[in-house]
Amino acid sequence: MPVEEKVFLEDNVGKRLDRCVSDTIVKGGGGLIIGSAVSLLFFRRRAWPAWLGTGFGIGVAYRTCEKDLNSLK
């Protein structure tokens, strides 16, 4: 007889939140790098493209996380 493992909802939520945090770090960092490169190449080293890229990255990660967490219901 196979032994069934119980998977609690809290464990599932914890894994998804961990994925959300790592996704936010990766996408925010990617936006920062792309924004910094654009700033260096086109905007004479101004800070706003780097901040804008970081904001876009974090926003995309937030949206992905929101959809992932809402699919639990």
pLDDT of residue 1: 61
Q: What average pLDDT values come out for the chain (73 residues) when binned by 10 residues?
A: 73 89 96 95 91 96 93 74
Q: Is residue 60 included in any domain, yes or no?
A: yes
Q: Is residue 11 part of a domain?
A: no
Q: What is the pTM of this model?
A: 0.80
Whether residue 9 is contained in a domain is answered as: no
Task: Give the residue numbers spanning the domain of 53.
Answer: 18-70
Q: Given this model, what pLDDT does residue 21 score?
A: 95
Residue 1 belongs to some domain of the structure: no
CB atoms within 10 A of CB 62: 15
Number of domains in the chain: 1
The answer to whether residue 28 sits within a structural domain is: yes
Q: Does some domain include residue 45?
A: yes
Spatial distance between the Cα atoms of 29 and 32, rounded to a whole number of angstroms? 5
Determine contact, residues 13/71, Cβ cutoff 8 Å: no
The amino acid at residue 1 is M
The phi, psi pair for 42, rounded to 5°, reads -120, -25
